[in-house]
Structure 1
Amino acid sequence: MYMPVSIVSELVEHLQLSEISLRKAKENAYFCEEGWSKKLRSLVPVNGITVSHIRTGKLLAVSRMVVAVFLLITMEDFSDRYFRYQDVLFNKSDGRLELSGNNYAALWPGDGKPGLWMNSISRMGAIYTNEAIELVIPPVFYDCTRILDAGEQIVSRDLYWGAIYDECKVGPEMERAEEMLVRCVERNPFVGEPYLVLGQLYLSQGRFEEAERDGSVGVGECIGRVSWEGRVAWAMVLLMKAKARSWPQTSWAIINPGLVK
């Protein structure tokens, strides 16, 4: 989804203004439509938009409701199946996923590194949630009220990859991994996996309160490289062990962490 940088900056500003307006409305029990909300909704007019058919070029009228549904499905689709391969395929490394390049010879699946698609779907979510349509709001990007900066996305992704890439984490390497993961979630708090990795790291050091905190956050964030079911299962193990104030000390115990005793 292409947007000029100036439009993205305005979108970020309008989201901030929307929070202020909502707070005022709750305090005063009255909501007055403001200029920012009118402009934001103008991205998808009340009567919908006209687009060209991807194959025939024929002009098609698309209602606002259909646009909203398309945005929601596209957000889910990107988060489910996009990874670094798509960045390589379209020659994109700036974190904006504009699908404008043409490296058709890129070999699938590539190196498996997380992709740079989150800035794009955070922008989709910002438009979706401000369309005044009675649709479910996906629980991502703080209920679609934040836009992840493209540059912060890149730095965060690289910190995460650097923290987990080396298989052996002992001594100073463990400390370095923790530092990288903490910086990772500071820059991009919208992905669950770094929190879960931090939770496991804390458990291995006997830091149970911190493990329980990050495990709870990690299971609440719906975006991640591993499937949602996989993240929930691992988060439940982390939380169970954090509450029990214990963590396995053998490899065999790590792969058998169930509730049966």
Structure 2
Amino acid sequence: MTLPFHDLDQALFARAQTLLDDEWLSKDADLAPLLPVVLARNVGQDWHKAGTFRHHLVGVARSLALWQQPRDVRLLGLLHSVYGNAFVDLVKFDAASERGRLAELVGERAEHLVYLFCTMSRTQFVQRVMAGQIEADGSMVLEKNGQPMLLTPFEVAAFIIVSMADSIEQWFSWQDDIYSQFPQVQSQRPQAVHWAASLWPGPMRPSGRMLHQIASLGLALQHPALKNLLPLPPVFGQCAQPLAASDEAAATSLYWSVIQLDQPLVDLDAATAVLEHAVRHNPWVGEPQMVLAQLYLSAGRAEDAERAATSALQCFSAWGNAWDKRVQWDAWVAWTRILRQSAQQGSWPERLDKLNNLALRG
């Protein structure tokens, strides 16, 4: 059975390459002026899920930049939690006294988006998007403090896209457990009883359930009143393809079984077959395809390795963040490029120690 590999979009890959530099944000004319202000609020010292709060804010902004979102949406990504919210008790700007200060820095429209995103019920928003409760004109009604709150179609589209970037940047198995069944969060589980789930960062498995939700959010952007308001993120076939929850769970489990070496350790055919099934279940993330490319190289299957590595590179270029958070996005991209180069050259080290010498050329 043919594997669902992707071709490489050269324009998308070129955009991704510009974001591999750690200093990309300082070169962004829209976002760079905000960087000193945000850093002055000590975001680089605050813990946040798989890294620091700075890592998170920059990672969300990176995906939005890759997805070619307009200035106000990218600013929302960089500042999306600075007033605090129900999920993050990190208040970097006081909404009662500093809204004017932030509006001076980013403009009233961008500040309004940040304020709404921080103060509305994100849980309620995600629930209603996934339930298809978007009005015919693209607007949405939420409840806030017992009163109706109307989001415009632009706000709905922007908040969907930022929610997609926010989730892919931060979510991994630790949150699968402590935020089980989000957005229907089970809040009555005592930490002391479920101490094993609470240990951070846990086994660092990729999420077994969040990509299904991100795909569902993306599908909502196909709403006739939303589709042309903002550029569609280049994931899940331009937000046109679903990912079943069962397929995501199966793919994550199969992938992790190979990573944990829960396969025969002498011959690689079983591990290869398991990863191929993982890719069939979920062809939208790069890590399983990247590992599969290395197995193909080890088996002397250079053509298959090139196809797998090229497809993995396309997936990494589409997201701008890693699905498997054991290493950073730029490291996944770098190793994938090594694999692709080796496949194109028809070479792969025969000795383990020579893997340490590999370098990208050209």
Q: What TM-score, normalized by structure 1, do the two folds share? A: 0.76
Deviation string for 1:135-167 (max 9, x for gaps)? 111111111111100111111110000011128
The Cα shift of 1:104 comes to 6.2
Letter in 2 for 1:2: Q
Give the structure 1 partner of residue 154 of structure 2: 65
Residue of 211, 217, 220 corresponding to 1:127: 220
Task: Give the drift of 1:231.
Answer: 2.3
Given the alignment, which residue of 154, 160, 166 partners 2:255? Answer: 160
2:310 aligned partner: 216
1:87 aligns with 2:186: no
Aligned to 1:255, the other structure's residue is in SS state helix
Q: Read off the aligned partner of 2:314 and give its amino acid letter.
A: G
Q: Tell me which residue corresponds to 1:118.
A: 211
**Match for 2:359 among 247, 254, 258?**
258
**Alignment partner, residue 148 of structure 1:** 243
> Contact 2:172/2:206 (CA < 8 Å) preserved in 1?
yes
Q: Which residue of 2 aligns with 1:21?
A: none
1:184 to 273, 278, 282: 278
Task: Report the Cα offset of residue 254 of structure 1.
Answer: 1.4
Q: Deviations over 1:30-70 (max 9, x none)?
A: xxxxxxxxxx7x724316122123xx454322111111111
Structure 1 residues 58 and 256, CA gap change in structure 2 (3 angstroms): farther
For structure 2, list consecutive stretches of 5 or more residues without a partner in the other structure.
1-125, 192-197
Determine if the alignment matches structure 1 residue 237 to structure 2 residue 332: no
Would the alpha carbon gap of residues 99 and 225 (structure 1) be closer, same or farther in structure 2, given more than 3 Å must change?
Answer: farther
Does residue 98 in structure 1 map to residue 183 in structure 2? yes
Q: Check conservation: 1:211, 1:239, Cα contact below 8 A.
A: yes
Check whether the contact 2:128–2:134 (CA below 8 A) recurs between aligned residues: no
Identical aligned residues as a percent: 28
Which amino acid in 2 is paired with 1:126? L
Task: State the SS of the aligned residue for 1:148.
Answer: coil
| Counterpart residue type for residue 237 of structure 1 | I
Aligned positions, number? 220
CA distance in structure 2 between the aligned counterparts of 1:250 and 1:188, rounded to whole angstroms: 32
Within 2, Cα distance between the matches of 1:66 and 1:90? 26
Aligned to 2:139: 48
The residue that corresponds to 1:23 in the other structure is none
- Structure 1, unmatched stretches of 5+, are 8-39
Give the letter aligned to residue 108 of structure 1: W
Shift in CA distance, 61/260, structure 1 to aligned 2, threshold 3 Å: closer
Offset at residue 107 of structure 1 (A): 2.8
Tell me, yes or no, if the aligned pair for 1:199 and 1:214 is still in contact at 8 Å.
yes
Instruction: Compute the RMSD of aligned alpha carbons.
Output: 2.5
Tell me which residue corresponds to 1:225.
Answer: 324
Measured after TM superposition, the shift of residue 182 of structure 1 is 0.5
Give distance in 1, aligned partners of 2:186 and 2:258. Answer: 30
Structure 1 CA distance for aligned equivalents of residues 336 and 155 of structure 2: 35
